[in-house]
Amino acid sequence: MPRVFFGVEIPSEVKKRLLALKTPINGARWQSRNQLHMTLVFIGSVKDEDLDTLSYVASLVSMPAFEVEVTGLGAFGRPEHPRNLWAGVSPEAPVAELYGQLSAQVAAAGFETEHRGFRPHITVSRFRKQAASIVSLLEEHGQDRFGVLPVTEFVLFGSAPGAGGSVYTVIERFPLQPPLDETDQPDQI
């Protein structure tokens, strides 16, 4: 049974800036270029026949494309003993709307989703239990700007274990609507 989740791919230039953060920190497992993404809805293991249902419900999401800036760093867990180092996005509202629509469709189709609060982020590193502090890293780079992330689509990813951590593959892409260009406003009567 494949493990799957919905997410957003990250542009190469943003990945390059995030990967430049990699420093020797005891217990850190830095994400590779191919692992960097923004998770929207994690599903977990599903039967092969459920992939069609997930594709269908994802196709029901309807919202315009948008841009966010990848900016700032934070940690899940205390910075002295972190579980994850992440980069944030701003503004969070359009990502939260996309998450809300998608998670509602997935739940309505009968799939279990995570019940913890949604915080849009890109995981940069995961840490083992005895990880060293990242306080100085957060002080030095906590306000950094890593670039613009155009969100024109979201993706159904497959996840499989690999020698260097999880390996993600794109199963299907779901385009968002083109943003309404101010020059394309409907005629006023």
Q: Is-contact 155 175, C-beta < 8 A?
A: no
Q: Is-contact 120 88, C-beta < 8 A?
A: yes
Catalytic residue check, 81 = no
SS3 31: coil
Catalytic residue among 37, 81, 115, 141: 37
Catalytic residue check, 115 = no
Q: Is-contact 76 151, C-beta < 8 A?
A: no
- In this structure, the strands spanning 153-162 and 3-9 are antiparallel
Residues with a known catalytic role: 37, 121
